[in-house]
Amino acid sequence: MNQGRTVVNVERTVVMRKRMRCTGVAIAAVLTLVVAAGVGCKKKLADPFPASGAVAGWEKSGKTQTYDAANLYEYIDGGAEQYIGAGVVGVSTSDYKFQGSLEATVDVYTMKAADGAKTIFDADPPTTDSKSVQLGDAARLYGQSVVFRKGPTLVRITAFEAAPGEGDALLALAHGIEGKV
């Protein structure tokens, strides 16, 4: 009679081990799918630069260049430390032309946190020729540039020469970028 119980117990143990193995394989398969889905669904950062013609009068005139914190000094010679100290992740930069003549450079800085963008924005205080404008979380329009921050992003658009209506043109480009960051 004890032998019968032993055989039944051994059979139960074998069945339980098979179930556990199947359950372990199923769990591993589910985890693999979850990880694969997470990697496959990772949100790609949107390109903050409007395509040519997306903002009336503006044409993108070059390829976008990117720099991360490690090589930021190649782009901002002498000023990279301020951005690195504020938590810059990287900067993307692209050139534009307005109506074929007014040239401008757009720099989009991505920071680790919104506080970093605020720190850099606040480091350039308003001047007598600047004015606050409605754009992002905070913005200023200077003579030949506009700077704004939105969340962890700081955007600086700089025109290379003065031109009639440049402030309105720069603001239009800024609004086109704001909608993408």
CATH number at residue 157: 3.40.1000
Same domain assignment for residues 95 and 165: yes
Same domain assignment for residues 78 and 153: yes
Same domain assignment for residues 62 and 91: yes
Statement: residue 148 has pLDDT above 50? yes
Distance CA 72, CA 79 (A): 9
Distance CA 63, CA 161 (A): 21
Which residue would you say has higher pLDDT here, 115 or 101? Answer: 115
Statement: residue 73 has pLDDT above 60? yes
Residue 150 lies in a domain: yes
Q: Using one digit for the tens of pLDDT, what is the confidence trace for 39-71?
A: 444 334 568 999 999 999 999 998 999 999 999
Per-residue pLDDT, averaged over 13-35, amounts to 46
Statement: residue 3 has pLDDT above 90? no
pLDDT band, very low/low/confident/very high, at 5 (cuts 50, 70, 90): low
Q: Using one digit for the tens of pLDDT, what is the confidence trace for 113-137?
A: 999 999 999 999 899 989 999 999 9
Number of domains the chain is built from: 2
Same domain assignment for residues 90 and 161: yes
Q: Using one digit for the tens of pLDDT, what is the confidence trace for 162-177?
A: 888 899 999 999 999 9
Q: For residue 113, what are the contacts with CB-CB under 8 A and spacing of at least 6?
A: 87, 152
Same domain assignment for residues 38 and 120: no
Residue 120 lies in a domain: yes
What are 61's two structure tokens? 């005139």
Same domain assignment for residues 170 and 103: yes
Q: Are 157 and 105 in contact (CB under 8 A)?
A: yes
CA diameter of the chain: 104
Mean pLDDT for the chain overall:
83
Q: For residue 181, what are the contacts with CB-CB under 8 A and spacing of at least 6?
A: 46, 48, 108, 136, 150, 151, 153, 155
Percent of the chain scoring above 90 in pLDDT: 65
Q: What is the CA radius of gyration of the chain?
A: 28
What are 71's two structure tokens? 């090589």
* Token pair 């200077």: residue: 142
Residue 158 lies in a domain: yes
Is the Cα dihedral 131, 135, 137, 139 positive or negative? Answer: negative
Same domain assignment for residues 16 and 98: no
Domain that holds residue 15: 1-44
Which residue would you say has higher pLDDT here, 37 or 151? Answer: 151
Same domain assignment for residues 33 and 91: no
Same domain assignment for residues 68 and 1: no
Same domain assignment for residues 171 and 110: yes
Same domain assignment for residues 124 and 153: yes
